[in-house]
Chain A
Amino acid sequence: MANDKNRKAILVTPEDCIGCRGCQVACKSWNQLPGIKTKNNGTYQNPPDLAGAAFNIIRYNEVPSTENPVRWLFVSRRCMHCDDAGCMKICPAPGALYRTAEGAVAFDRDKCIGCKLCVNACPFDVPRYDAENKVTKCHLCFDRIGAAMQPACVKTCPTGALKFGDRAELIGTAKKQGFKTIYGEQDLGGLGTIYAFKDEPKLYGMKENPTIPYSVIFWHTYLKPLSVIGLGGVVAAAAIHYLAIGPHKEKDEEV
């Protein structure tokens, strides 16, 4: 998937973002999400984090600067559409989280059983839940991009801080433009939300070396196969025992 030619992505360029939050509004509008009542807690970042009715937010990240009195890095936060997606790995309900032809991780709320395992396996703490405890998150506007339109947030972005397109092309262009880091190029098999950074990812408040929790990897690689091999092995061993050695007979006990 990571090198798949059809894979689409959103490229985020924080330095181009003016913090207008048009993307947040466009997302709500397209997905018909209600407003969230919040209170001022000393930052323009609002709502404070992703929520059942907020699939994307702009993080208002203020960082130290010697050149400017204020240096604000506005960073779009949303589902990363990981190639190796922890949420999909752990989900026990078939079809609740699924991969679209464009490489997005979309969801089907009718199939979700509301177990909330996915948020715990997500390296980025992304999935949220609606009033009926069904999973909700950014789905890369799979319904729009499937019809050759841009995601709502990208369509509305006035500055080009959000760009949508072929993943490989977006990365190629950003590299040519001389960005220091393309965050998400390799992580988790390659992310579907990638970031063009001029500085260290840490400065933008990004997780370095994101990974799926080790317990989930251990479970997926060892425990799942063991359950099948264990059951199958016992059934086979019982059959062999029955044929080769045979059941206890009463006369055996008389020795």
Chain B
Amino acid sequence: MAEMVRKSSSDEILNHWILAGSCILLIITGFAFLFHLEFVGSVFGGFNFMKTVHNWLGVVFILSLFYSMRHYLKDALEYDDDDVQWFKVAGGYLSHKVKVPPMGKYNPGQKLYYLAIVVAGIAIALSGFGIWLLKGNTTVMLLSHLVHNVAFCIFVIAVPVHIYLGTLANPGTFQIMVNGMVPLETAKKKYPKWIKAVGKM
């Protein structure tokens, strides 16, 4: 057995799947409201119950988003010259021939993804609570409705990109969200600055 290093803790993995599960169900039920998808409604026994599910999934989602901050926020706020260079070569995604600069635990694409999810997540949750609880105020309702839908558009674009990059586009990555482990040799190549920082290289 090749030597493995732990990239994600088990509470991080559990929280990720709560975040991902609630987020994806929110997206599906959100689309059902937007486009009157009756077949989705019938899975929940009608739109009335689906609305209740959607509201409470929002609570689960925002709680797990806040909890995720202890896993990613610090990393996501730090950028260096290699991160700038990473963007110049588009992370190596547009050609396998370019030289990708050495990365830390997360590449800047992931870090910005995280920040986008935090910002859009807080916006979509606050506006969701606005529509749910502040029904009496027209300005709040209309503004919330608008913000909720702008944030929704960010989610339906950012999340599938993330899923593709975390699975098909980067074989082996998905395992990080299953058992948290990466082979040390792989980690040395993909996240050299992180491996150096934890003293394994």
The interface of chain A, by Cβ under 8 A from chain B, is 90, 92-94, 96, 111, 113-117, 119-121, 213, 215-216, 218-219, 223-224, 226-228, 230-231, 233-235, 238, 241-242, 245-250, 252-255
Contact = CB atoms under 8 A, between A and B. Distances in A.
Contacts of B38: 94
Given A94-B38, A94-B47, A117 B170 contact: no
Contact of B168 (A90, A247, A249): A247
B131 interface: yes
Contacts of B197: none
Given A117-B145, A215-B145, A247-B169, A234 B160 contact: yes
Given A219-B145, A245-B96, A113 B47 contact: yes
Contacts, number: 114
B71 interface: no
- Looking at B93, B141, B190, the one whose CB has the most chain A CB atoms below 10 A away is B141
B201 to A, nearest CB: 14
- Looking at A215, A216, A227, A246, the one whose CB has the most chain B CB atoms below 10 A away is A227
B149 A223 contact: yes
B79 to A, nearest CB: 21
Contacts of A250: 172, 186, 189
B96 A249 contact: yes
Contacts of B51: 92-93, 113-115
B148 to A, nearest CB: 9
Please tell me the size bucket of the interface on B: 35 or more
10 contacts: A93-B48, A113-B48, A116-B135, A117-B131, A120-B145, A223-B150, A238-B169, A248-B169, A248-B170, A255-B99
Interface string B26-41: 0000010111101001
Given A116-B135, A120-B141, 15 more contacts: A114-B51, A115-B51, A117-B141, A119-B138, A120-B142, A121-B142, A216-B145, A223-B152, A227-B153, A230-B153, A238-B160, A238-B161, A241-B93, A241-B164, A246-B96
Interface of B: 31, 33-36, 38, 41, 47-48, 51, 92-97, 99-100, 131, 135, 138, 141-143, 145-146, 149-150, 152-153, 156-157, 160-161, 164, 168-172, 186, 189-190
B165 to A, nearest CB: 9
Given A218-B146, A227-B153, A253 B189 contact: yes
Given A249-B96, A253-B190, A234 B150 contact: no
Given A115-B131, A116-B141, A92 B189 contact: no
Contacts of A111: 47
A116 to B, nearest CB: 4
B32 to A, nearest CB: 8
Nearest to A249: B96
Contacts of A226: 153
Contacts of B143: 215
Contact of A248 (B33, B35, B96): B96
Contacts of B171: 247-249
Contacts of A219: 145-146, 149
Nearest to B173: A248
Given A117-B141, A216-B145, A238-B161, A223 B169 contact: no
Nearest to B156: A231
B162 to A, nearest CB: 10
Contacts of A228: 35
A104 B131 CA distance: 27
B114 to A, nearest CB: 18
